[in-house]
Structure 1
Amino acid sequence: MPNVEAETLIDFCKAITAAAGASDDIAEIVSRSLVRTNLMGHDSHGVIRVKGYLNQARSGHLKPDARPQIERKFGATAIVDCQQGFGQVGARFGAELARDIGQEFGIGCVALSNVNHIGRLGEYAEIIAQAGLVGIIMTAGTFLQVSVTPYGGREPIFGTNPMAWAVPTDDAPFLLDFATAAVANGKVLVAVSKGEPFPEGMLLDRDGNPTTDPNTFYDGGMLLPFGTYKGSGLALMMEIVPTLLAGFAPVSSPEFRSGNPTLMLALNVEVFTDRDRFNRLTDELLQRVKRVPPAVGFDEVLLPGEKEAKSVAERSEKGIPLPDSVWQDLTTLASDYQVAVPERGVHV
């Protein structure tokens, strides 16, 4: 399992993506997004995705050089046509647009249509929160189609349907980013790539039996929703609100087409309340949560994002550990596109 320095991995993925037809700036956006996600410890949404994206490009479903365009704008709302390009490019454009509209009108709402997999949602909520606005991202669907069964069921009918919230603070934005499934699809992909069993209580095989074998997911298996009926209800709502407003159909519908229908909200704090008070009370609340005594078996109460911050520090110093299968996929793509495999910055 090689450890690869972040900048080396960015440059490598950028070269492969550019060779596949993306312009340099698009390749930069996609590669930095994926590697940043690896740095944070979310390998399921990192460079493991490059192979799948370029397979989509080869099939014509993803257009590497496509750029998003504003399809329609009305007041504080807009629809962005992402032109079937890289999802990260369309989502960044949409988040920046929602932020700008929110700064002007107090609230900005942007729907993304014709959009491919956008990666880690939190990245786009943070773009909004870094400007002092509350960012909310909701998405549904996937190019894997149905993958999650409703609570009490044994047939997949939902996507993993994640959402992210980011609020401004006096420091970095405070972020919450989670799938409404027990885990994201990509976590299964990581377990398969590592040859590891899956945790109990998250996965059913094609017959609806509990299993820890991640390979069953790709043989008609399905994920469970998180939090039983609550996660199931949220997943259902994601199949309606962002999906239909973005012009898609639910993932189980005969009208479904592959993509990541997304809705982005930006709320300008200063329109609703005093910004300094908002930041102060948020920071005080987070500090109170950290002071809660840990339960038996726990060393401390962790806030969302703390594990990610520790991972960024560690992987920035030691490099990003990549399963052999993921590194092999990247080097095979490099061969396909006649890109040199880096020698420096790769530690085996």
Structure 2
Amino acid sequence: MLPAIASHTDPDMAPNYVMVEAGRLDAFVAAIFRAAGCDPAEAGRISTHLLGANLAGHDSHGVARVPRYVEWLEAGYVVKGQDAEIVTDGGCFALLDGHFGFGQTVAPQAVELGIARAQQHGIAVVGLRNAGHIGRAGDYAETAIRAGLISVHFVNVAGSVLVAPFGGVERRFSTAPFSVGVPLPGRPLVLDFATSLVAEGKVLVASNGGKPLPKDALIEPDGTLSGDPHTLYGEYPQVGPRSPANGRGAIRAFGEHKGSGLAFMCEMLAGALTGGGTSGPVDARGRIANGMLSFYVSPRHFGTEAEFFATGRDYVDWVLACAPANPDEPVLAPGDKEAATRADRLANGVPLQPDTWESILQVARRLGVNEPA
């Protein structure tokens, strides 16, 4: 049995990074949010979702976010105890307002509604606006998969300008995540990525001594490419908060014009269409909120479920039988890496950079929460 906390080394991580057993980490983070004023159910949802991102290998959306979430709660940028309200209801389509509640509360409510409506009508389109940070978008695709549904999710961050469009050096987009889930029996597919070259959370992790950024992930005002987190955050302490408002540079879109174009559409669909607002121009409220437009399709209602399952499984097998460029690295399907990482981290613990762990401990101490034994 792994100790609750241990130190290890790994070539892809900072030296002597901290390994925390998943169950202990879940309970510890939940205790922090209870101490911050959330009720036990909401605290548990936040903790489990953040831990789920770590387990999937998306550390940028994991427990490294705890200090920032608490900071947002205390500043009033996110509001505890909120429920999503239905603003428009057309049966197979609906629009919900999250009232700046925690994303881990209001986004699952929007997803649950979309699943129920798709199971009733065969298809559903659900918009969500004014949600706190919803975390890893792939989590919602996985929820739809468990219900047997295909889903597509466009996400934006209203009021958050971090990413330069193709050909530019100034911030214009949010990181604008995109996710698709496909429920093949025994072989689900989950596509989940930010349209930026790296998620802002990966810059956060790198600034805390984690895995370095690609040398072309960021761009300076003069067009110089950079992998230095200071490009985005400006000066910051070794342990403590980071603010993108202090930096002069931007994150780059992935795939040159292709990622930039997809980010543009995420802003249009998740931001402008839902009425929650796009990344900019930033208004005087200083509030940052997620928008999400989700599509749900039931293969059973579509009338091709058996063919879809058979053809889809055959195609996945054929693609994965492709000769690998590197014999030690087989060709993978979307979601394979996350599944393998989840199994490993459940067995061996969640790796956290020492500075990330210390920043979480500082919040816990301030709120009177005891460290894991």
With the length of structure 2 as denominator, give the TM-score of the two structures.
0.88
Which residue of the other structure, out of 329, 332, 339, is the alignment partner of 2:369? 339
2:177 is aligned, of 138, 150, 162, to: 162
Structure 1 residue runs of 5 or longer lacking an equivalent are 344-348
Asked if 1:263 is matched to 2:287, the reply is no
1:168-201, Cα deviation, whole Å (9 max, x unpaired): 1111531000111111111111111116542122
Question: What is the SS of the residue equivalent to 2:79?
Answer: coil
Task: Compute the RMSD of aligned alpha carbons.
Answer: 1.6
Contact persistence 1:249–1:255 (CA under 8 A): no
Q: How does 1:291-330 map to 2 (within 5 A)?
A: 291-295=321-325, 299-330=329-360
The alignment partner of 1:57 has SS state of helix
Note the 1:185-200 alignment, pairs <5 A.
185-194=200-209, 197-200=212-215
1:230 aligns with 2:258: yes
Tell whether 2:40 aligns with 1:40.
Answer: no
Q: Does 1:201 align with 2:216?
A: yes
Report which stretch shifted further, 59-68 or 45-54. 59-68
SS at match of 2:157: coil
| Aligned partner of residue 99 in structure 2, secondary structure | coil
- Which whole-Å CA distance do the structure 1 matches of 2:328 and 2:196 have between them? 25
- Partners of 1:36 and 1:46 within 8 A in 2: yes
Kindly indicate whether the alpha-carbon contact (under 8 Å) linking 1:170 and 1:279 is maintained by their aligned counterparts in 2.
yes
Using the alignment, how far apart are the partners of 1:82 and 1:45 within structure 2? 20
- In the alignment, which of 292, 312, 320 is matched to residue 282 of structure 1? 312
1:131 to 139, 142, 147: 147
CA contact (8 A) 2:114 2:125 kept: yes
Q: Partners in 2 of 1:208 and 1:159 — Cα distance?
A: 19
- Match status 1:14 vs 2:30: yes
Instruction: Return the letter of the residue paired with 1:135.
Output: S
Q: Which letter does structure 1 place at the counterpart of 2:273?
A: L
Residues 20 and 64 in structure 1, CA contact (< 8 A), matched pair in contact too: no
Quote the residue 1:83 is aligned against: 99
Structure 2 residue 125 is the aligned partner of structure 1 residue 109: yes
SS in structure 1 of the partner of residue 87 of structure 2: strand
Could you tell me how far apart the structure 1 residues matched to 2:313 and 2:37 are? 45
Q: In the alignment, residue 279 of structure 2 is paired with which amino acid? A: V
Question: What is the aligned residue count?
Answer: 342
- Displaced runs of 4+ in structure 1, greater than 6 A? none
Please report the TM-score for the alignment, with normalisation by the length of structure 1. Answer: 0.94
Q: Provide the rounded CA distance (Å) in 2 between the counterparts of 1:236 and 1:274.
A: 33
2:190 to 170, 175, 186: 175
1:3 aligned residue: 19
Deviation at 1:246, TM superposition (A): 1.6
Q: Which of 265, 272, 280 matches 1:244?
A: 272
The residue type paired with residue 56 of structure 1 is: W
- Checking the alignment, whether the CA contact within 8 Å between 1:162 and 1:180 is kept in structure 2 is yes
Q: Which residue of 2 aligns with 1:346?
A: none
Q: How does 1:62-101 map to 2 (within 5 A)?
A: 62-101=78-117
Q: Is the 8 A contact 1:206 1:216 kept in 2?
A: no
Seq. identity, %: 37
Q: Could you tell me how far apart the structure 2 residues matched to 1:322 and 1:23 are?
A: 26
Q: Comparing both structures, which one devotes a greater share of its residues to strand? A: 2
Tell me the distance in 2 between the aligned counterparts of 1:335 and 1:9. 15
For the residue of structure 2 that corresponds to 1:37, the secondary structure is helix
Contact 2:129 2:271 (C-alpha < 8 Å) held by counterparts? no
